Structure 1
Amino acid sequence: MKQYKAIIFDMDGTVLDTLDELTTSLAHVYGAHHLPVRTRQEVRAALGYGYTGLIKRTAPDLDPAEQQKLAEEFKTWYSSHCQGHTHPYDGIVSLLSALQAGGRKTAIVSNKGQAAVSELHEEFFSHLVSFSMGESPRYRKKPEPDMVWEALKRLGCAREDAVYIGDSEVDSMTARNAGLDVILVTWGFRDKEDLERLHPDYLVQSPDELARLLLGQ
């Protein structure tokens, strides 16, 4: 396998299990507006498109202005309640430590708002990953390539020497739009069968398998 110099990760569903926190935060916002509370599985299927995308996919009958209002409410609530049940998937800390020891450059690029991304980066990854980028007015959201290109610029790495790792169709499209190889993981927010249909360069089942793949072990 090609030895990548830079490895960019998605956050939710790839390095962090955030599903419980996102589900309870959405339930809080929807409950306050007397909207149907979505199940954990419904929220899982709607993730990957940022806060606005989550609202559009779980409250599709609302008009766009109301969806945007709810997205802002969700952003505010979740940004201050994004910890507690959130944790790295088993094996992720070891994987990132091994990549660091192996001299690989790493970063996280997420459609989650920057405030929550920064908070979670400081709690879990500040000693393991160079930086974590979240949604902001400066860059278009994934699957547009803007944030990935900015991350590569900060890492000082060319596209052909980098790979993007995620868990959804959004991540696959992001990598392709940015001109990077893509690795998809099966422990996140999409089922293995759905990921196989995306034809990633690699599909991996565990962080240990990913470590062996990236480090040539």
Structure 2
Amino acid sequence: MSPAYAAAVFDLDGTLLDSYAAIHDCLNHVLVAFGSPPVAPEETRRMVGHGLDALLRQALGEERRVRAVALFRERYAVVGPGKTTLMPWADEVTDALSRSGIPMAVASNKPAEFSRQLLDELGVLHRFSAVAGPGDGIPPKPEPEMVFRLVRALGVLPAEALMAGDMDVDVETARRAGLPVAVVPGGSCSRDELARARPDHLLEDLRGLLPLFGIPVRGG
């Protein structure tokens, strides 16, 4: 089984981590603080994926965005780790890739410090060579700059790195950055929505990544 790719760039929320409960908690905390009604979990899932600024601009408008972001970040630092878990097969797949010497990075629209904190709390941060998020001149996905920087850090060409995500925005980001892309339904986009985005690989779950790196899938 020969590998098709030499490195992996992962999205975070919905791909490696299930942090919807934490995001939902923080979003409603902010909404209530501004006197707005809370939203249902399903609505939160539909709103996420484009970064914190976009989420709170959509929820509360541009005039209240800056204060809302600050409140969200304060709350997330407290509740984020306790309300975040690994997605199914994320531990096993990233462990197998790491043991096989596949360099990996994370490209998330979550602030990078939160991403590192959560990955560390869940015991998998050491598997990733780099973790990036918006800020310090890096715009959120689907702008490709974040991915460009990660690919350079991994020491591979864009065509040699596979991007793995769970949303149509991940497909768009990969296309702009010149990377092939695999997607797994993670909660924000249905399988049909992902198929319409025309990824290179539409997987049933994260285990489908392993054969693309020449690693056999073991167990069920």
In structure 2, the partner of 1:140 is 139
Aligned counterpart in structure 2 of residue 121 of structure 1, from 119, 122, 133: 119
In structure 2, the partner of 1:182 is 181
Contact 2:12 / 2:108 at 8 angstroms: preserved in 1?
Answer: yes
In structure 2, the partner of 1:46 is 47
Which segment drifts farther, 205-214 or 47-56? 205-214
Contact 1:165 / 1:183 at 8 angstroms: preserved in 2?
Answer: yes
In structure 2, the residue corresponding to 1:55 is in which secondary structure? helix
In structure 1, the partner of 2:20 is 19
Tell me which stretches of 4 or more aligned residues in structure 1 moved more than 3 Å.
none
State how far apart, in whole Å, the 1-side matches of 2:101 and 2:3 are: 15
State how far apart, in whole Å, the 1-side matches of 2:214 and 2:32 are: 46
TM-score scaled by structure 2? 0.91
Give 1 or 2: higher strand fraction: 1
In structure 2, the residue corresponding to 1:213 is in which secondary structure? helix
Percent of aligned positions that are identical: 30
1:65-119 CA distance string (max 9 Å, x none):
2133312321232233311120111211110011112221101110101221121
What code does the residue aligned with 2:107 have? V
Q: Let me know the Cα RMSD of the aligned residues.
A: 1.6
1:98-155 CA distance string (max 9 Å, x none):
1112221101110101221121132232232222212222311111111101111111
Following TM superposition, by how much is the alpha carbon of 1:160 offset from its aligned partner in structure 2, in angstroms? 1.4
Note the residue ranges of structure 1 that are not aligned, 5 or more in a row.
Answer: none
State how far apart, in whole Å, the 2-side matches of 1:34 and 1:88 are: 33
TM-score scaled by structure 1? 0.92
Aligned counterpart in structure 1 of residue 106 of structure 2, from 102, 108, 111: 108
Following TM superposition, by how much is the alpha carbon of 1:2 offset from its aligned partner in structure 2, in angstroms? 5.6
Residue 150, structure 1, aligned to residue 149, structure 2:
yes
Following TM superposition, by how much is the alpha carbon of 1:216 offset from its aligned partner in structure 2, in angstroms? 4.9
